[in-house]
Structure 1
């Protein structure tokens, strides 16, 4: 059944909305305006660049609380400084931009507040996902329950390490940055197929200056990717020690993982170690470490929704599920592990 499961076949199959409660205030007392960004086919960082250009503000002044996939339909809040009191008309800056059927940005006014958004403020995300290419028996098992309690290993999934269809090597950019091997970092970045890869490939100046020219949050993302890869290795080694017969090593998109084959194996991991250290990063002309911890196991409840014939895979079934996850958790990692145990 795991071989049959298809995720993200279409952008409409993977919908994400942020769970972020901001304190709104009257326009007269506000320092920032909040905007709702609806996007498809764009990374958050790519969208931020477009929004900054369209609104005439510095890229660094466009705040966000989390990163959203480009291979889905996502909604999140942005913040921009309120440079002048709003007038009586509609708020400025709303726009819709389409560059093909699978690339769209839509920006709308959300409200006014007194603080910018920043990474780390996000509470979580809500997901609505279509599971495709299921056989009749698999679809029936899902729809019989309607509500599923899921315990899964809190791995960073493969999209953390590269864009869809591209090499999964973002962690190698981060590793080179930490080693101050600026030439290697630029070469790795140029080969990723990321929005900033073209600039890296064309760069003719000093290699370190490229990273000084990028949005510091973009550079911090690559440092964090390296930290994420190291965290995955920690939890993978722990699983090998806790349940060696239940979790053989496997690979997803060329990256190593160990997935416990039973819920008891995941529970054993949780009982052994609830959290592991993790390094967050900022970038201010050099890496700035922010030590924290990350839970090894996450629990959520999946609600099974609509099911029917799969129009994309004739003779198969499609089932929709919805659920919530804390910030930093990966829906694809949760679903992949769920199906491994079915």
Structure 2
């Protein structure tokens, strides 16, 4: 993936300890306070989301599939996230007695539906970079540029799995070498889609068009999954793009051709043709063509430096990766 701003402005270390990487998620809906699903907001230190979900299932005496969460969080962090547990009739163990190593219960409420994947408004990050080596004359302008222009909305390396295991799984699945378990298939499909999207994004960065859109290109409203086709003669579009009101988009690959008829659509077809096994496999498994913003607004970006430490805070929409922000700022270990 090329850099949109010319490369890192320095280097440092992230996650020297879990408290250096704090993530707080915000649900996209209000809890009703009644229903058979017990919602628990937990603070986890050094815990894997799937592992915590298994512990909750054991605590409640329920099957694992009765536990829901909106997104996977990194184990090497302090995270605040919601889980739901189906408790028929509203009968459940006392939440105040919940004891899981590395987990603190912050609050609980009832709701009438299970927590689904992706049901987030977004996440807030508080990061601490130690061992900072950066020229303030480069770092400060870079931070201001990111606050004003956003960053390329790349999928982070965690999407591809440890040593790209999710991508390798997709390759073996699509080639007929194996049939993955049901709980593995979603990871494989997401990794294949992310590979093609990142490749398109890389091409747009190299061409200097990751922030722009031409007539015929699909354009997405900021903070929304809604998109429309840019029309010729839309004099307001450049100003809306500059204000981060709308963003150019890239493909989440699936059946059929990408929408639009502008130069972006032709580029997407050319890039996808470089990955015939993945493009065909995604279509064969019934995924539809969808869109994702090529650009990511970094909201409420604030920073403070002291000695060799940089503290950052910002908010990102659901599905975005903090690594997309960090890679444009610093080379982090």
What's the TM-score bracket when you normalise by the shorter of the two chains? 0.5 to 0.7
Tell me what 1:176 maps to: 172
C-alpha separation between the residues in 2 aligned to 1:134 and 1:335? 13
**1:133 and 1:318 in contact (8 A); partners too:** yes
Q: Which one of 187, 197, 203 corresponds to residue 231 of structure 1?
A: 197
Q: Over residues 224-269 of structure 1, what are the superposed CA-to-partner deviations in whole Å (9 max), with x where a residue is unaligned?
A: 112111211121123333469xxxxxxxxxxxxxxxxxxxxxx89x
Tell me what 1:335 maps to: 326
Question: Is 1:241–2:207 an aligned residue pair?
Answer: yes
State the 1:279 CA deviation. Answer: 4.3
State the 1:108 CA deviation. Answer: 5.1
Tell me what 2:151 maps to: 152
Question: Is 1:276–2:250 an aligned residue pair?
Answer: yes
State the aligned residue count: 263
Query: What is the root-mean-square deviation of aligned Cα atoms in Å?
Result: 3.5
**1:54 and 1:93 in contact (8 A); partners too:** no
Q: In the superposition, relative to structure 1, how do residues 177 and 51 fare at CA in structure 2: closer, same or farther (>3 Å)?
A: farther
State the 1:137 CA deviation. Answer: 4.1
State the 1:333 CA deviation. Answer: 1.4
Q: In the superposition, relative to structure 1, how do residues 337 and 23 fare at CA in structure 2: closer, same or farther (>3 Å)?
A: same
Q: Which one of 97, 122, 136 corresponds to residue 100 of structure 2?
A: 97
Superposed counterparts of 1:180-195, under 5 Å: 180-182=176-178
Q: In the superposition, relative to structure 1, how do residues 10 and 82 fare at CA in structure 2: closer, same or farther (>3 Å)?
A: same
Q: List alignment gaps of at least 5 residues for structure 2.
A: 1-7, 211-240, 255-283
Question: Is 1:6–2:13 an aligned residue pair?
Answer: yes
**2:15 and 2:77 in contact (8 A); partners too:** yes
C-alpha separation between the residues in 2 aligned to 1:327 and 1:333? 13
C-alpha separation between the residues in 1 aligned to 2:299 and 2:151? 11
**2:10 and 2:132 in contact (8 A); partners too:** no
Question: Is 1:15–2:22 an aligned residue pair?
Answer: yes
Tell me what 2:87 maps to: 82
State the 1:155 CA deviation. Answer: 0.5
Q: In the superposition, relative to structure 1, how do residues 107 and 177 fare at CA in structure 2: closer, same or farther (>3 Å)?
A: farther
State the 1:120 CA deviation. Answer: 2.5
Q: Which one of 93, 103, 106 corresponds to residue 104 of structure 2?
A: 106
C-alpha separation between the residues in 2 aligned to 1:298 and 1:238? 14
State the 1:93 CA deviation. Answer: 7.1
C-alpha separation between the residues in 2 aligned to 1:177 and 1:236? 26
Tell me what 2:297 maps to: 299
C-alpha separation between the residues in 2 aligned to 1:44 and 1:119? 12
Q: List alignment gaps of at least 5 residues for structure 1.
A: 99-103, 183-207, 245-266, 281-285, 310-316
C-alpha separation between the residues in 2 aligned to 1:138 and 1:302? 20
C-alpha separation between the residues in 1 aligned to 2:199 and 2:128? 30
Q: In the superposition, relative to structure 1, how do residues 226 and 105 fare at CA in structure 2: closer, same or farther (>3 Å)?
A: farther
Tell me what 2:185 maps to: 219
Q: In the superposition, relative to structure 1, how do residues 59 and 331 fare at CA in structure 2: closer, same or farther (>3 Å)?
A: same
Q: In the superposition, relative to structure 1, how do residues 242 and 135 fare at CA in structure 2: closer, same or farther (>3 Å)?
A: closer
Give TM-score scaled by structure 1 length: 0.66
SS of 1:33 mapped into structure 2: strand
Q: Over residues 66-102 of structure 1, what are the superposed CA-to-partner deviations in whole Å (9 max), with x where a residue is unaligned?
A: 1111111111111111313359xx834752322xxxx
**1:16 and 1:126 in contact (8 A); partners too:** yes
SS of 2:310 mapped into structure 1: strand
